[in-house]
Amino acid sequence: MLFTNTTRGGSFAKDPAVIRLNGRYFLYHSTRPTPELGLGIGIAESDDLENWEVTGEVPLTQPCEAKGIGAPAAIVLDGVVHLFYQTYGNGPKDAICHATSTDGRHFEKDPTNPIFRPTDDWCCGRAIDADVVVFDEKLFLYFATRDHEFAIQKVGGAFAPLNSDYSSGCWQQITNASLLAPELKWEGKCIEAPAVIEENGKLYMFYGGSYNCTPQQIGCAVSEDGVFFRRCSSEPFLRPGEPGSWNSSESGHPYAFRDDDGRAYLFYQGSPDNGQSWFLSKIELHAEDFA
């Protein structure tokens, strides 16, 4: 699989999120920002997880979305697609929004958007790069934020009751501290794009380490409770490709997807030219990857 979106010019598809609904696969992704529209969220569909067709975009309809939206996460709960995504272009004021759909293509925005941002006593108050997972009878929300100097990117968490509507009053911050922050040399000053999947009663968080094309590489951490994460290795789980390849500048911003048959995949972005163009691909995850 190698996918990109050319509807806004060039080759640009970042920040993947994949679901299966009514026998179809949907790939939500960030699209190229333009002076008129800013960053956007594209929709692509597939029958086989390999061949994708762009079928639309999530429209900008709320004041908080005026400068753009992006970095989607998606989950299907009781036949309804819940899309969590970030506002764009507002610096420390960017936050997480929520929308729902019954067909995967047309979304109803939460009137309380944005529905979540962290307190600013331990970070700058920003929330981007959302991911959600059902665990311990709650919906856990993981996100990236920055320190008060807006230099170090790190991961925080929140949760809402599983039977709630996930509006702005439903979320409780897990702790007034980061759950994972850059420590290793290859992580640079950035851990972002948490991508969480449950395996054998544990949560595995794949993440992008280091800022885009520096290069960003993918790491992995594990937690028994959704709160305390420890790295599975001091080395990257997935590195950039060889010179001249589609992802020679980075392999980053992962998204973990489990299909109806139980097979798990890691979708991720890559660039061959230091961020001038962006593509998406995937690998299958196996039992040894959850060690």
Query: Cβ distance 191 to 156 under 8 Å?
Result: no
Give the pLDDT confidence score for residue 247 in this predicted structure.
98
Pick from 9, 211, 199: which is nearest to 128 by CA? 211
Conformation bin of residue 60: beta by default, left when phi > 0, alpha when psi is -120 to 50: beta
Answering whether pTM is above 0.75, one says yes
Q: Label the pairing between strands 279-285 and 128-135.
A: unpaired
Query: Cβ distance 247 to 279 under 8 Å?
Result: yes
Give the pLDDT confidence score for residue 291 in this predicted structure.
75
248 Cβ neighbours under 8 A, 6+ residues apart: 240, 241, 242, 270, 271, 272
Pick from 230, 284, 278, 226: which is nearest to 257 by CA? 284
Per-residue DSSP letter, 258: E
CB atoms within 10 A of CB 237: 22
In the chain, what are the domains? Answer: 14-290 (2.115.10.20)
Query: Cβ distance 217 to 236 under 8 Å?
Result: yes
Give the pLDDT confidence score for residue 189 in this predicted structure.
98
Q: What is the mean pLDDT of each run of 10 residues along the chain (291 residues)?
A: 96 98 97 90 97 97 96 97 97 97 98 97 97 96 98 98 96 96 98 97 97 97 96 97 97 97 97 97 94 75
- pLDDT tens digit string along 209-229? 999 999 999 999 999 999 999
